[in-house]
Each structure stands twice: as C-alpha cells, then as structure tokens.
C-alpha cells in the first residue's frame, strides 16, 4: 500500500500524500523510536487487557507449598535413610513446589522424559523440566527394602524426617547417560557430573511422597527462603503489577545494578505502574570456587541497605535449587522453576549456567549466549512470562561508571572487565576494587569473606 501511495496510485494516503493528524487525546501512545518491537507489543497488549478488549487466558501461576506440617516418627516408616545437604535442597525444591508439576523425586519415566524431551507430563499436559531431580540409593538398602517389603521410607536430614517415599520403586542410575544428556559431557571434572558419579548405583522414587515439614538449614538465612506463594503474597502486598525475576549465583556489581534499574525503567515505559524486582539468588550447592550463599546474601542486603538497590521495589529471597552447571538446559530450569511464584518477566543474560570445559583449559563448555537464545526461543513454554534478554555492562575506565558495553563502539578500549578470579585476588589482599565497579558496602562484605577463606 505504501509503495502504491508513493507511486501516486493511491491518493490522499495518510503519512504520504495526506497529513497525519495526531490525536489530541490518544488512548495509548507508543514510542517506536525508544522501544523495541516486543516492548511495543507488550505495551499495546497491556492497554488492551486494562481496558477489557482482551482477557488474559494465561494468568500468572502461583504454586502453593505441598508441605503438610505433621509430625512423622521413624516408627511410622519401615526404614529411614539419611540424605546429604544437596539432597535436602532438592527435597526443599520439590516440597515447596519450585519443581512444579513434580511432586516427588523423578521416577524412571519422568527422568527419561526430562533427559530426552526437557519436559514432564502431568494429566496429559507437558511442562518444561530440563534438569534431573533424583535420589540415589545403595544396593544394600534397595535389597533390604525389597526383602522386608517396606511401603514407607523416611529420608532424614540432621536427624529429622523431611520427606516420606510411599510405595518405593527402583531403577538403574545410568550415570553416563544422565550426565551426557544433561551436561553434554560425562567427564568427572564437570562439577555436577562429579557428584552424580559419586552416587550409588540405584535411584529411588515412589507412588507419591509426603513432606511433613519445611526443610530448615539453621544457618541464619532461613527467613530468606520464601515459598513461591509467599513471594506472590509479597508481590500482592506491595501492589506490584509486574514481578521481574533475576537469577544470580555471584555477588552483584554495579553492572548488575545498572541492568536491574534499566529493566524497571523499561517496564515503566511499557505502561507498568509498580514493577517489583525478585532478586533470587541460587541457594543450593555450588562449586567450591563460587562465593557461598551467606556472603552473597549479605552482600545483596548491603546493596539494599545503602540504597544502591531501591528497597521499596525489591524482594530478596533464596531459590533453593542446587546448581547443575548445565548451560542452556539449566537456563530453562532457572526460568520455569520461578513461573509458580507469579513472576511476569524473567531476565536472562550471558552464560548464567555455564562452566569451563572440564577437559580443555580456558574453553567454555557451552556457547555463552546459547542459554539466552534458547530461553527467548522457548518462552511460549513459560505460561505467559516474558523473557528479557540483556546486554553486558562493563566499567568505563574513563568515567569510573558502569555502562552497557558495545564492542564495536569507538570507546570500547576504555572498558575494563573484572573477573571473579581478579576479585578473589583483590579480596585476599584486602585491596580495593576499581572505583565505580561495586558499592563499597558490598565490597566490604566480600573482603571479609575472602580474608577468612
């Protein structure tokens, strides 16, 4: 039509041969010069939802905990088996419904579907599930359960029964297959593969599992371990019309803070009135050279307390899952797990679940952008949650400020990247970071950690 209008075939064409009369009282104004296509579409969609032109067919999912507080003793179970801290973290992940729709450790069919299809099926509907959540058991305990025909097996942590497996079943722990399908390698030098190779030779599941209590770690951080429903309740209490989640397993520098503030401003431009950030650091097992949960949480809290991050528009909570270091597959898990907390948006960036190649020094095991690309491609599986890809930020050495980095910009050479290794070195020396890289209050927390490491 524009081609015909410019050729004079269609006369009086608005914007070509006739003026565009800007409405004096437009219902909605979308600046296509400042906002990308997806943002423009979301602004229009939100306006149509607000005015009743559209009805949301996929409202936010809120998963309530499946823990039922009830005392269970060892006499109620045919047998009890102690579990590791990592397995307790998985039990918390299932029991508090972060692994929806999973309500037990995976059985054989669920594990097969997870490995080969990246989904699990419930009542004929498929849901994204891209990382294996299993419980291993020894040959001796398997034979004992079978011989004595136990129908209830209690799993204990720190002397307390934290879940009960009903009508147990067993299947082979095919470690090589699980590792290669999950991580693209079965090298024992891969951090999570190392854990899987150390497991027993059998896996246990059951017809169902009961969760008689919320798992407590008594580490001073249990108040940050909020369930999906508790997070959504806080979202409602604050009157948030958008909840954007950010998964992180590292301390936050000013580049992260720039990203989080920029995201909130972007959502406001889209028409949201009160977008709230769910800062949701991984709280489960991670490899030894990662900063543990306690100093990370204290560092995040320091940034809130000193105003680097706005306290009125942020919820700081712990996501209980262990880290898989599974690249793009794990990025799907990071996003899909949080859908049940009522999030509306999920931020994803560079290599959020990556790791170095276990056999080739200095080479990443996964392409550093494949996780972001896969998640954007798969966002239709996330119950309407929008995926927000972000750009890298770096320290501009000329201005001592964090800015979004463009490798083709004329001033690209002025930018400085500070690695985790460099931070560890400076922390061990009790030295200062370059000005503008991190809040001084946050760095004080990390220096204390590195000094005592």
Each residue's pLDDT tens digit, 107-138: 999 999 999 999 999 999 999 999 999 999 99
| 275 membership: H or E segment, kind and range | strand 275-281
The helix (run of H) or strand (run of E) holding residue 126 is strand 125-128
Q: In this model, does residue 419 exceed pLDDT 80?
A: no
Q: Pairing state of beta strands 160-172 and 202-210?
A: antiparallel
Alpha carbon distance 365, 378 (integer Å): 21
Amino acid 417: pLDDT:
87
- 341: β partners: 62
Among 139, 129, 140, 205, smallest CA distance to 167 is for 205
pLDDT tens string 333-364: 999 999 999 999 999 988 889 999 999 999 99
User: Is 54 within 8 Å of 48 (Cβ atoms)?
Assistant: yes
Reported as a single tens digit per residue, the pLDDT across 252-272 is: 999 999 999 999 999 998 889
CATH of 74-210, one of 3.10.400.10, 3.40.50.1820, 3.40.50.720, 3.40.50.150: 3.10.400.10
Domain boundaries, the chain: 2-50, 74-210, 222-452
Q: What is the pLDDT of residue 52?
A: 85
56-105 confidence digits (pLDDT tens): 767 778 999 999 988 899 999 999 999 999 999 999 999 999 999 999 99
Which one, of 327, 356, 351, lies nearest residue 189 by Cα?
A: 356
- Is the pLDDT at 205 greater than 90, yes or no? yes
Region 431-448 average pLDDT: 93
**Among the listed residues 451, 446, 93, 429, the one whose alpha carbon sits nearest the alpha carbon of residue 301:** 446
**Residue 12: exposure state from Cβ atoms within 10 A (0-12, 13-18, ≥19):** exposed
Integer Cα distance of 310 and 275 in angstroms: 12
Calpha distance 360→189 (Å, rounded): 11
Separation of CA 434 from chain center: 29
pLDDT at 60: 78
- Tokens 């059998």 belong to 202
pLDDT value of residue 61: 86
Yes or no: say if 142 and 67 are a contact pair by the CB < 8 Å rule.
Answer: no
Position 334 scores a pLDDT of: 97
Distance between CA atoms of residues 223 and 212, nearest Å:
19
Q: Is 293 exposed, middle or buried (0-12, 13-18, 19+ CB in 10 A)?
A: buried
pLDDT of residue 335: 97
Percent of the chain with pLDDT over 90: 79
Radius of gyration of the chain (CA): 25
pTM: 0.88
pLDDT the model gives residue 23: 86
- pLDDT tens for 31-55 read 888 888 888 888 888 888 888 888 7
How far apart are the C-alpha atoms of 415 and 409, rounded to whole Å? Answer: 11
Contacts of 107 (CB under 8 A, 6+ apart): 169, 171, 205, 206
**Segment (H or E) for 248:** strand 242-248
What tens digit of pLDDT does each residue of 368-417 get? 999 999 999 999 999 989 999 888 888 999 999 999 998 888 998 999 88
Q: What is the mean pLDDT of residues 431-450?
A: 93
* 170, 373 Cβ separation under 8 angstroms: no
- 420 pLDDT more than 80: no
In the prediction, which pLDDT does 63 show? 95
Tell me, what's the pLDDT at 377? 94
Confidence bin at 30 (pLDDT 50/70/90): confident
Name the β-bridge partners of 246.
279, 347
Dist. CA 62–CA 97, nearest whole Å: 10
What tens digit of pLDDT does each residue of 162-204 get? 999 999 999 999 999 999 999 999 999 999 999 999 999 999 9
d(CA 212, CA 451): 40
Residue 36: the pLDDT is 83
Instruction: Give the closest residue to 77 by CA, choosing from 212, 275, 179, 254.
Output: 212
- C-alpha 36/C-alpha 59 separation (Å) is 24
What is the rounded CA–CA span in Å between residue 324 and residue 361? 20
> Alpha-carbon distance 392 to 350, whole Å?
7
- Tokens 């590791």: give the residue: 84
Res 50: pLDDT: 82
- 222-452 classified as CATH 3.40.50.620: yes
| φ, ψ of residue 279 in degrees (nearest 5) | -85, 110
Could you tell me if 379 and 385 are in contact, meaning their C-beta atoms sit under 8 angstroms apart? yes
pLDDT in tens, 231-248: 999 999 999 999 999 999
Q: How would residue 440 be classed by pLDDT, with cut points 50, 70 and 90? A: very high
pLDDT of residue 91: 98
User: Comparing C-alpha atoms, which of 87, 75, 80 is closest to residue 215?
Assistant: 87
Residue among 421, 403, 425 nearest 412 (CA): 403
Query: What's the whole-number mean pLDDT along residues 197-224?
Result: 96
């Amino acid at each position: 039509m524009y081609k015909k209008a410019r050729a004079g075939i269609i006369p009086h064409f608005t914007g070509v041969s006739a003026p565009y009369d800007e409405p004096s009282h437009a219902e909605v104004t979308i600046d296509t010069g400042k906002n990308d296509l997806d943002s423009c579409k979301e602004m229009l969609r939100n306006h149509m939802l607000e005015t009743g032109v559209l009805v949301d067919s996929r409202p936010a999912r809120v998963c309530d905990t499946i823990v039922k507080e009830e005392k269970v003793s060892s006499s109620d179970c045919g047998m009890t088996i102690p579990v590791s801290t990592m397995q307790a973290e998985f039990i918390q992940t299932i029991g508090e419904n972060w692994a929806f729709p999973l309500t037990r450790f995976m059985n054989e069919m669920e594990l097969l579907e997870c490995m080969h299809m990246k989904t699990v099926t419930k009542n004929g509907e498929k849901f994204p599930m891209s990382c294996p959540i299993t419980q291993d058991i020894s040959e001796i305990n398997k034979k004992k359960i079978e011989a004595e025909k136990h129908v209830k097996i209690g799993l204990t942590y720190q002397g307390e029964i934290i879940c009960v497996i009903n009508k147990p079943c067993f299947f082979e722990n095919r470690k090589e297959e699980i590792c290669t399908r999950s991580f693209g390698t079965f090298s024992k030098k891969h951090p999570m593969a190392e854990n899987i190779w150390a497991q027993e030779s059998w896996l246990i599941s059951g017809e169902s599992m009961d969760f008689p209590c919320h798992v407590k770690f008594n580490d001073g951080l249990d108040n940050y371990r909020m369930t999906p429903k508790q997070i959504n309740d806080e979202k409602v209490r604050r009157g948030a019309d958008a909840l954007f989640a950010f998964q992180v397993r590292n301390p936050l520098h000013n580049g992260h803070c720039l990203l989080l503030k920029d995201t909130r401003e972007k959502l406001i431009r889209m028409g949201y009135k009160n977008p709230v950030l769910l800062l949701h650091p991984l709280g489960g097992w991670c490899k030894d050279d990662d900063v543990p949960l306690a100093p990370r949480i204290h560092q995040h809290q320091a940034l809130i307390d000193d105003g680097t991050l706005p306290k009125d528009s942020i919820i700081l909570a712990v996501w209980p899952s262990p880290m898989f270091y599974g690249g793009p597959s794990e990025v799907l898990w990071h996003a899909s797990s949080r859908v049940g907390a009522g999030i509306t948006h999920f931020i994803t960036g560079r290599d959020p679940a990556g790791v170095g190649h276990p056999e080739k020094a200095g080479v990443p095991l996964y392409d550093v952008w494949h996780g972001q690309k896969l998640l954007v491609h798969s966002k239709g599986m996330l119950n309407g949650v929008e995926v927000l890809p972000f750009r890298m930020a770096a320290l501009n050495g000329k201005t001592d400020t964090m800015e979004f980095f463009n490798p083709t910009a004329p001033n690209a050479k002025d930018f400085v990247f500070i690695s985790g290794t460099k931070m560890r070195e400076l922390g061990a020396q009790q030295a200062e970071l370059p000005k503008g890289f991190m809040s001084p209050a946050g760095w004080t927390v990390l220096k204390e950690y590195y000094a005592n490491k």
